[in-house]
Amino acid sequence: MSQKRPQRPLLTPLPEWFPRGAALLRDPTLNKGTAFSLRERDALGLRGLLPPHVITQEDQVNRVLENFRRLESDLSRYILLEALHDRNEALFFRVITENPDEMMPVIYTPTVGLACQQFGHIYRRPRGMFISAADRGRMVEVMRNWPYRDARMIVVTDGERILGLGDLGANGMGIPIGKLALYTACAGLHPRHCLPVMLDYGTNNEALLEDPLYIGLRQKRLSGSALDELVDEFVEAAQQSFPGIVIQFEDFANHNAFRLLRNYRDKICCFNDDIQGTASVTVAGIFSALRVTGKRMSEQTFLSLGAGEAATGIADLLVAAMMDDGLDEAAARGRCWMVDSKGLVVAGRRDLAEHKRPYAHPHAAVGNFLGAVRALEPTALIGVGATPQAFDQDVIEAMSRLNERPIIFALSNPTSKAECTAEQAYAWSGGRALFASGSPFDPVELAGRRYVPRQGNNSYIFPGVGLGVVTVQSSRVTDAMFMVAARTLADSVSEQDLAQGSLYPALSRVREVSAQIAVAVAEIAFRDDFACIDRPGDLHELMLRQMYDGSYVSFVP
């Protein structure tokens, strides 16, 4: 049972605008349900609108958990939690913050993928902002409809590349909602500072266009200059409506993601989590794995299955890490290889997208992944191509012949897209694999030893980065911030973690780690003159003071 926390006064006296009676119970940002005290019920017109017994928040948490655990499917659990979020925001965050191992796989990967696929069919109540191509020319007016003027973090998607599931159109709104819930749960960013945005300019998913319950625009996607003009208007409207707000681009397709990041990263405070956040958490896992192997970063050879946003972002940050370890840029790039749908990415190919060219090295063509493993003899495999079971027994056994401790990162999600399972990686390597995944896997018992794999989940990185950037009002988010976040995360992994096969800390420590990452990010912001506040005496204390924990406040002294 969670420890009881004292209620704190919020506003005394309450302002005239403060809702009373049924209106208060309908406001999820203020509602406490049966936890309203008798004094609050008298003062706020709640007598008779609630059962007479006052329930503590701790007992409310237990009630939610009882109902959550009674349900048989994760989608049903997702719906229960979203209904709670719509009814009582503080209780929602208290539940997920205190039970991260149980709740995070439901509110985010892997369940959020199914929730997005079914979004129009499980839709209950609007959350966030839906900004569409029909709003062209009036986005500032639309964004000013958002009721909370202190928004500081936007997560925006266009729904074209949701996880490994492809184009889900406006159904992709589940991703910004889930990401921002993690900002609060994992780093304590206040819910009122969080704004989910669905940028809807159509979908090319025919099944959605024919679905009578689809919630988005029923048209083919815009592209080219028409798309760029809409995104540009959105970015300008966001900055005008919420000056200095951070924009996180999420689940845009490769052909747009790199261009949009390049267009805006030096103009506004923004980043792309699929490119930069995934890179940071992956490099952190590599740092942890090298503590086990005793090898240097500059000695590694990396082979990625996939050559899109995640693979390129990871490779770029690995290059920076190898340069920190003494290699020049050309030598570092030469140690990063990619395989796409046509085989090994090599210099002789003529069909290469711009983002792949820095990693297209001179080499004979290789048509399949196992062939690439045999030809390049990598020390680490990084799966980010959403190709399920691509790390098959032949691949893992080949890596195990080449390396005493092969590094196997099966990072594609949801679970159905994983390149291999934890059990397969350990079994096929004789227990020698250093494994991380994009979706959660249960501990594995093998030959009398228990392995505890952990997710290389971006939720270890982006919440702490966001907390640091927002708190010091940084005007930019830089690659240096993601590198220091990776190092900070790796430093938080204990020897006990490594001994059981865990390359990341337990999720129960995610708030502690996020505060440390926020401090490290803030240090970079001050060092590089991006911070817009005076430097405080104690950055760690500043971060802790900012962190929302879902405890109720008292409205009546």
Q: Which residues are catalytic?
A: 108, 179
Q: How far apart (Å, rounded) are the C-alpha atoms in residues 12 and 272? A: 41
Cβ atoms of 306 and 385 within 8 Å: the answer is yes
Residue 76: both structure tokens together:
């049903």
Cβ atoms of 106 and 74 within 8 Å: the answer is yes
The amino acid occupying position 387 is: T
> Measured at the alpha carbon of residue 235, what is the angle toward residues 234 and 240, in degrees to the nearest 5?
95
Give how far Cα 374 sits from Cα of 177, 184, 322, 367, Å.
42, 44, 23, 12
Residue 495: both structure tokens together:
């020897």
DSSP helix/strand/coil, 524: helix
Q: How far apart (Å, rounded) are the C-alpha atoms in residues 428 and 394? A: 9
Distance of CA 467 to the CA centre of its chain: 13
Q: How many other CB atoms are there within 10 angstroms of residue 479's CB atom?
A: 17
Cβ atoms of 248 and 179 within 8 Å: the answer is yes
Task: Provide the pairing of β-strand 270-272 with 336-340.
Answer: unpaired
Q: How far apart (Å, rounded) are the C-alpha atoms in residues 549 and 91? A: 10
Q: How far apart (Å, rounded) are the C-alpha atoms in residues 108 and 180? A: 10
Q: How many other CB atoms are there within 10 angstroms of residue 301's CB atom?
A: 14
Cβ atoms of 61 and 2 within 8 Å: the answer is yes
Burial class (CB in 10 A: 0-12, 13-18, 19+), 73: exposed
Residue 274 DSSP class: I
Q: How far apart (Å, rounded) are the C-alpha atoms in residues 274 and 546? A: 26
Q: How far apart (Å, rounded) are the C-alpha atoms in residues 418 and 479? A: 27
Reference 175, options 155, 151, 200, 195; nearest CA is 155
Residue 30: both structure tokens together:
């203020």
Quote the radius of gyration of the chain (alpha carbons, Å).
24
